[in-house]
Amino acid sequence: MKEERRPESAKILSVFRHGETDWNALSKLQGQLDVPLSVRGKQQVGILSEALLADEIESVYSSDLSRAKETVLPLAERFGIPILFDPRLREVHLGEAQGIHIADIDSRFGAHSWSKWKSFDPLWDGFSFPNGETKPELDGRIFSFLKSILQTPDQVRVGICTHGYWISRMLFLLNLQPKEDLRNCEVFRIRLDAKSFFAKTVP
């Protein structure tokens, strides 16, 4: 009888944002709208593959939106590792704010709407755009995904391709230093303990 493997006590996560899209360059909100990589974004993926080479990733999880798929497919091919697409890694749904330029958000949805949305102050956790996800709803997706990753027994070093706001909220939830504005293809390396859920950044 084959012995069942237990999950490792900790995972090393290489979490990275997808490459640039034309909408990123225009400061236009995408949310869950399916926007492909730009020419510049595809060039960034080549640089990203070099940055991840030493991470020795054993598998990679990815959002199923096109800009994430186009980022991760060349990486998986180069490293010879499997990809698992997971809708929990999609960007937050921004409702009626999707497709709107950031500069126009306050005039469309009220004064200080953008700063309230970007804020990590719990006072604004209930703020959302019409017909969009709330911060607690996204947080639930993030926790669900991370907990499931910790239960996989076979890989210790895992890549995660996702989106800017998703990563910002994840860093905040793990009590790491959150960033409001992430660069495309920026990488965060995190050691996450399976028992305590304690996280710390690693080189």
Work out the pLDDT band at 60, boundaries 50, 70, 90. Answer: very high
- pTM, to two decimals: 0.94
Strands 187-193 and 10-17, sheet pairing? antiparallel
Per-residue pLDDT at 3 exceeds 70: no
Q: Which amino acid is at 153?
A: P
C-alpha angle 74-21-166 in degrees, rounded to nearest 5: 85
Q: Tell me, what's the pLDDT at 1? A: 43
Is residue 158 over pLDDT 80?
Answer: yes
User: Of 18, 20, 70, 133, which one is the catalytic site residue?
Assistant: 18
Question: How far is it, in rounded angstroms, from Cα 98 to Cα 184?
Answer: 19
Q: Once rounded to an integer, what is the mean pLDDT over residues 70-94?
A: 98
180 annotated active-site: no
Confidence at residue 7, expressed as pLDDT on a 0 to 100 scale? 56
Residues 6+ apart with CB under 8 A from 5: 153, 154
Cα–Cα distance measured from residue 164 to residue 177, given in angstroms and rounded to the nearest whole number:
14
pLDDT one-digit tens code per residue, 184-198: 999 999 999 999 999
What is the pLDDT at residue 124? Answer: 97
Q: Which of 20, 91, 133, 163 is an active site residue? A: 91
Residue 18 is a catalytic residue:
yes
Which amino acid, 112?
H
152 strand-pairing partners: none
Query: Residue 21: CB partners within 8 Å, gap ≥ 6?
Result: 30, 35, 36, 37, 38, 41, 67
Among residues 127, 133, 65, 141, the alpha carbon closest in space to that of 93 is found at: 133
